[in-house]
Structure 1
Amino acid sequence: MAFCSSFSPLDQEPGTEQLAAQHGPLLLEFGAPWCAHCQAAQALLASAMQQYPDLPHLKIEDGKGRRLGRNFRVKLWPTLVLLQDGQEMARLVRPDSLQAVEQLLASLATAPRTS
């Protein structure tokens, strides 16, 4: 699984416990399909993720009544959260350049491997 172009349905959204038990890297993207900032970031994210074809990417729709975003202290969209073995390694809020997204993903190279 690489770049994901659509948001996960609410009934398929992972829970905090499930994410904490995740092994390996995972990129979470919090946002909303109607959000102009989220739409603008898609091309940047798709381009940067070409270098990481095996990186799982989940788009989580955030908003009123959506707890996962609150658990990750999301305040602005899009917010990208990079997890390694269920632990947050890095985050990027409202990416505005390819370089910013590439820098976030480059932190994978410095992540400790546990598996």
Structure 2
Amino acid sequence: MEVTADYTTNAPSRAEVDAHDGPLVIEFGAPWCGHCRAAQALIATAFAGHHQVRHLKIEDGPGRRLGRSFQVTLWPTLIFMHHGQEIARLVRPGDAEAIAAALRQIDTP
């Protein structure tokens, strides 16, 4: 899958996320967030070669249930999941290799 370009306000339910079969990365942030914008090139670089990983880019903020269910407090927060289980989490990642290392944990053949 390709890296998702835009944040969506239409978040799935936590039950839908937990039921996802396969590798999944949920990126919580906001389109106006400077930290989020700065991380986009790193995320795109890290995702190269991880075509089986689904990427959800969820706009977060007060009252957004999915972000609260993951206890997200800073943006961007990347949640790396496999078969509905959180495997890794990165908050405000500073380099593509940290993201790639987390992707390798969930993107298994």
Scaled by the length of structure 1, what TM-score is found?
0.89
1:35 to 33, 36, 39: 33
Provide runs of 4+ in structure 1 moved above 3 Å: none
Shift of 1:103: 1.4
Q: Is the 8 A contact 1:2 1:54 kept in 2?
A: no
Larger radius of gyration: 1
Secondary structure of 1:76's counterpart equals coil
Partner amino acid, structure 2, of 1:7: Y
Q: Is the 8 A contact 2:27 2:79 kept in 1?
A: yes
Residues 26-73 of structure 1, C-alpha deviations (whole Å, 9 max, x = no match): 010000000000000000000110120221100010001111101001
Residues 85-114 of structure 1, C-alpha deviations (whole Å, 9 max, x = no match): 1110111110011111111112125x6x8x
Identical pairs, percent: 49
Scaled by the length of structure 2, what TM-score is found?
0.93
The residue aligned with 1:4 is 4
Gapped regions of structure 2 (runs ≥ 5):
none
